[in-house]
């Protein structure tokens, strides 16, 4: 919502005055969350970050998962949130 207010004022005002702002924000949030989890799973699979790695070396698993989540968060934000 803050991004819309600051950078997409016309879209924000149209959604606000039509009463669809909350619906729009919930929809975007749900889509972003779905894509985030799907991409994290896909990236982890591609990079060999598995449950076996988690059992063997938890610190490496956490570090790699944090890296994957950070990358995916940037992708989701740039493609869905800050457009």
Is the distance from CB of 31 to CB of 83 less than 8 angstroms? no
Cβ burial, residue 6 (10 Å; 0-12/13-18/19+) = exposed
Report whether pLDDT(69) > 90: yes
Q: What is the pLDDT of residues 14-43, one digit of tens each?
A: 999 999 999 999 999 999 999 999 999 999
Residue that the structure tokens 């004022």 belong to: 9
Report whether pLDDT(68) > 90: yes
Task: Look up the pTM and report it.
Answer: 0.85
User: At 83, is the pLDDT very low, low, confident or very high (cuts 50, 70, 90)?
Assistant: confident
Is the distance from CB of 5 to CB of 33 less than 8 angstroms? no
Name which of 5, 77, 31, 6 is nearest 15 in CA terms: 5
Domain span at residue 12 reads 2-81
Question: Domain count of the chain?
Answer: 1
Between 64 and 83, the more confident residue is 64
Handedness of CA 61, 67, 70, 72 (dihedral sign): negative
């Amino acid at each position: 919502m803050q991004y819309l207010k600051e950078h997409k004022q016309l879209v924000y005002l149209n959604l606000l005055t039509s009463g669809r702002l909350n619906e729009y924000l919930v929809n975007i949030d749900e889509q972003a969350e779905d894509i985030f989890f799907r991409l994290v799973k896909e990236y982890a699979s591609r990079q060999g970050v598995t449950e076996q790695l988690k059992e063997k070396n938890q610190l490496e698993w956490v570090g790699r998962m944090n890296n994957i989540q950070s990358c995916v968060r940037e992708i989701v934000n740039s493609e869905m949130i800050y457009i």
